Structure 1
């Protein structure tokens, strides 16, 4: 007997300890699980790391290059030997520096280079004239493009997080709603079971007919079915939410309890403050700005096509045996119709116009959405205030109907109607609370709020 009692108290202690150790799961707890280890989060931001890596790829265009060449020929009427090793270094303004050593003897098919037996050293420079004057060249364009794309990708990732975070928070609020709804349905079932005990006593004493007990049992079954349906909705909402935080239901149930939907903080929001913050914080608006930067860069690069491709180069050589020498040259190339330049210029101009209109549309939608959301929030808050008054009325009516039933001046049908009416009003009130929270979250999404990784 003592062991049984002791075991009973141990069970009570363990249960109480587990319950005491559970935390109330809030929005702050959610952010613990929304890290880059979460597949939903990484899918939203992964592209920015790819685009950031492409910057280093573009920087490779400025790498110092080592080149080597060797050619030996032994034909019946001619022979030769040629070797060359050189370093070339492109710099940001488009100029390319070259330094190297070569040795050429005999007759060569591909060049007329000939050096002394000990070879020669050479130092050279290649200057793209119009690239230098316009401070633009292909390598610089490639690097600047990669940098702008990486910046835009970062803003796009933040925009993905903005939408994903709003979706996850919304699923959290829906979970709280169904959790509250389960409690309401269970409370409704409890009332039916409690009344059933009262009816059984009245039937046994002969004050009520057997039909009353059958009606009571049918009512219990109906309400048990309602509880099952609501539990199913809650379970589905829980699974949807848990997939976003990448957590099993077992672990969640061991660690956390859910707060009351009515206790989740409601915030006072001012339209003008919200709109001003959205203009500064919305990552999709900032992404548009980077698109404009890219078009400006395209314009600068396309300007090169307006001019001929003019390269000047000069080489100084020092032959170890014969002394110093110099070579200068010029390369000139220009398409006569210049359709590529004109077409690209028009393409960029159309792109700028389209981008400006896209931004205007985005700002117009932002202002309209925020205005509608603020109005909806005000209406729902008014409904909550009215709902408090309505709840008190239906609870009083339900209480009166139950007292009438106990003294025999009402029937089970009327009592059921009153209780279902009370449940419906309370459910409607829960929906108002849910709508307030979801509208607040939508306003935050429009403002550009997202989690910081």
Structure 2
């Protein structure tokens, strides 16, 4: 028992004395996952998509079954007839007409001119249909509005994709700026720590008479200058962390300011653009697809306007049957066929709508052609920028490596007394400048890749 207690105490002591584990690095994938799930702009676009779904349901409701009921009675007068009628009507989804069915029941006395209101003892059953033969045969107002509403669903989905791509691109940029700021802080902190460590060595050498006293003042001046650079860099890191919190959120959607302990040690490579041809790049762009969808919508409006030019010719067919005892003239089943014809003589409203839709179609086609040209140039320019940024990043890395070797060699010479303080300081600051240029060059390279991925609407790389 005592032995087990001793082992437990030893384990607890080891855990207490062990160095604190480093916080897990914040990855770009984590930021993109959080942004795509909780970004308010994306949630708003999703709400608008649901709104488009609701509008489509409303348009579909124009084809709902409609039930009507009517009753009339004459409490005063010579005739005391009572008539009750119910009717159900459903518009046709493939024609501008409708089908209907109903039931009528009358009682009492009716005037001779109201003979159509009289039914047999158990009433009359009636069914019928109206079919559009010219106008409204292929498309009518109801079907046109339904098709437009369904196209609005696609437009809302494309708008959501476009917003999501923009949000994810800004999330990548915010993450890369935060990481680059953290690496600049680390570089300047190392430069500041070197100056502080050298101060103690200089003070000891001054006490021994090996160095002049003015050298201590000069190094303190150097410490203050490097500390000022570090403070500004730390301020920038805080600002970029706050900006990143707009995309990094918790499970409740609340912004989370990332801790500096979660900074990566190196600038992550980030997203990788795919090599695709121009046609595939165009097909993935939501703005181009949205413009094509608007052209399709305009085609629907053109069909609706052309439909108004046609004359109306409707066919009506109806069958009815009285039930129960009554007049022998009403006992046999009846069938009815009829035609209705109408023609607007001037048709200026329809012609005006056709001209308006044709002009809009031309404008949309021109806009689509220009947008495709613009996107092609944008992708070509971004590829050029990405290639140039990658070459510059490689050169900056080589420059930083050479500056690091020079600074290390100069510090060794200074330790051996073969160099002086001014040269060592210049070498260290040259190394810091080269390192910061390397950080900036790698950031620009990663940013160019992210811009190209966004321009090509690569949803997998953007975490959509």
Would the aligned equivalents of 1:380 and 1:435 in 2 still touch at CA under 8 Å? yes
In 1: Cα distance, 2:256 partner to 2:353 partner: 59
Match of 1:39 in 2: 40
Q: How does 1:91-102 map to 2 (within 5 A)?
A: 91-92=92-93, 93-102=95-104
Aligned to 1:259, which of 254, 264, 289?
264
Q: How does 1:214-233 map to 2 (within 5 A)?
A: 214-233=217-236
More helix by share: 1
SS at match of 1:70: strand
State whether structure 2 residue 58 is matched by structure 1 residue 57: yes
In 2: Cα distance, 1:181 partner to 1:452 partner: 28
* Deviation of the 1:6 alpha carbon: 8.1
- Over aligned residue pairs, what C-alpha RMSD do you find? 3.1
* Deviation of the 1:261 alpha carbon: 3.8
State whether structure 2 residue 149 is matched by structure 1 residue 140: no
SS at match of 1:366: helix
TM (normalized to structure 1)?
0.87
Aligned to 1:124, which of 122, 128, 135?
128
* Deviation of the 1:31 alpha carbon: 3.9
Would the aligned equivalents of 2:103 and 2:125 in 1 still touch at CA under 8 Å? yes
In 2: Cα distance, 1:329 partner to 1:25 partner: 76
Would the aligned equivalents of 2:389 and 2:448 in 1 still touch at CA under 8 Å? no
SS at match of 2:61: helix
In 2: Cα distance, 1:143 partner to 1:398 partner: 73
Match of 2:15 in 1: 10
In 2: Cα distance, 1:174 partner to 1:238 partner: 9
Q: How does 1:280-429 map to 2 (within 5 A)?
A: 280-320=283-323, 321=326, 322-323=330-331, 324-399=333-408, 401-402=410-411, 407=417, 410-412=420-422, 414-429=423-438
What is the number of residues matched between the two proteins?
442
Question: Deviations for 1:180-211, whole angstroms, at most 9, x for unmatched residues?
Answer: 11110111111111111111112222333443
Question: Deviations for 1:61-94, whole angstroms, at most 9, x for unmatched residues?
Answer: 1111211112223234554422111111212122
SS at match of 1:25: coil
Match of 2:90 in 1: 89
In 1: Cα distance, 2:255 partner to 2:217 partner: 39
* Deviation of the 1:394 alpha carbon: 3.0
Aligned to 1:434, which of 436, 443, 449?
443
Aligned to 1:197, which of 192, 196, 200?
200
Question: Deviations for 1:123-165, whole angstroms, at most 9, x for unmatched residues?
Answer: 12122222464x2122221221111111122122111111111
Match of 2:180 in 1: 177
TM (normalized to structure 2)?
0.85
Match of 2:25 in 1: 24
In 1: Cα distance, 2:295 partner to 2:73 partner: 55
Gapped regions of structure 2 (runs ≥ 5):
1-5
Would the aligned equivalents of 2:178 and 2:240 in 1 still touch at CA under 8 Å? yes
In 2: Cα distance, 1:314 partner to 1:327 partner: 6
SS at match of 1:122: strand
* Deviation of the 1:265 alpha carbon: 5.5
* Deviation of the 1:100 alpha carbon: 0.7
